[in-house]
Structure 1
Amino acid sequence: MADAALVFGGDLAIGVSGDLALAGGSGLTEQRVLRRLLTNPGDYIWQLSYGAGLGQFVGVAGAAGAVGAVTRAQLLAEARVAQSPLPQIAVEQTGTSGIALTIAYQDAMTGQATALTLPV
């Protein structure tokens, strides 16, 4: 099922016919993964455990382990991310308080492998 095309923190996209653009397939899964990782825990009042809140780790020294753990837990809770093979998460400390997060997962709906790299 398609959803409105809306990248976290962005604006709604306009489709070719002037209506709202839709996201489906792997694009929808990527939107859902980013939304889940960037939403603060407790902000989604209908599901308080939803969200990794990766923004809370920006500039925090030594947070690489916590970032990896919360990312793994949230990806395993996302229905559109395949549980087999398990998502691969690499967290690298860059400097004193920077973190580079690389996620490789398989879309449960399309079977397509996807990799995302996020600076935290």
Structure 2
Amino acid sequence: MPDLSLMIGSDLSVGPTGDLLLVDGTQRGVQRVLRRLLTVAGTYIQNLGYGAGVQLRVGGLIDADELSALIRSQIFREASVARDPDPVIVVTPILNGVHVRIIYADAATGRQQTLSFEVP
């Protein structure tokens, strides 16, 4: 079942027919991984345990290994992320935040997906 096309930090998109744009397949998986990582646990009323709250880790001392472990545990909760090969997660401190790069295999296609984002 498709999801609405809605990337974190952007608006809903309109398709060529004027309807709301939908996504499925690989792009749906990418959206879901990013949404899970940036949703603060306890704020999604239908599932209070949903979310990693990566942005809450920024602002103090950042333990890149700990943050990578949190990300790994959360992305494996998404059906679109294959467990093999093991995802590559790189957390790099930047000025006032972190840059996260995740390389994983799409569970349905086996194709490599790269997700990269910054959290200020």
Instruction: Say yes or no: TM over 0.5.
Output: yes
RMSD between superposed Cα atoms in Å: 1.7
Q: Offset at 1:92?
A: 2.3
> What is the 5 A alignment of 1:39-50?
39-50=39-50
Query: Superposed, which structure 2 residues align to 1:5-44 within 5 Å?
Result: 5-44=5-44
Bigger mean CA deviation after superposition, 74-83 or 44-53: 44-53
The Cα shift of 1:116 comes to 1.5
CA contact (8 A) 1:64 1:99 kept: no
The residue number in structure 2 matching 1:84 is: 84
Counterpart CA distance in 2 for 1:7 and 1:98 is 20
| Paired residue type of 2:87 | P
TM-score (norm 2): 0.87
Unaligned runs of 5+ in 2: none
SS at match of 1:104: strand
Match of 2:58 in 1: 58
Compute the TM-score of the two structures, normalised by the length of structure 1. Answer: 0.87
- 1:4–1:20 CA contact under 8 A, matched in 2: yes
- Structure 1 unmatched runs, 5+: none
Q: Quick one: which amino acid aligns to residue 114 of structure 2?
A: A
- Equivalent pair of 1:104/1:115 in contact (CA under 8 Å): yes
Aligned length: 119
* 1:96-115 matches, cutoff 5 A: 98-115=97-114
Partner secondary structure for residue 30 of structure 2: helix
**Is 2:26–2:80's contact at 8 Å kept on the other side of the alignment?**
no
Within 1, Cα distance between the matches of 2:24 and 2:11? 17
Distance 1:99 1:9, change over 3 A: closer
- Alpha-carbon deviation of 1:89? 0.8
Work out the CA distance in 2 between the residues paired with 1:32 and 1:3. 9
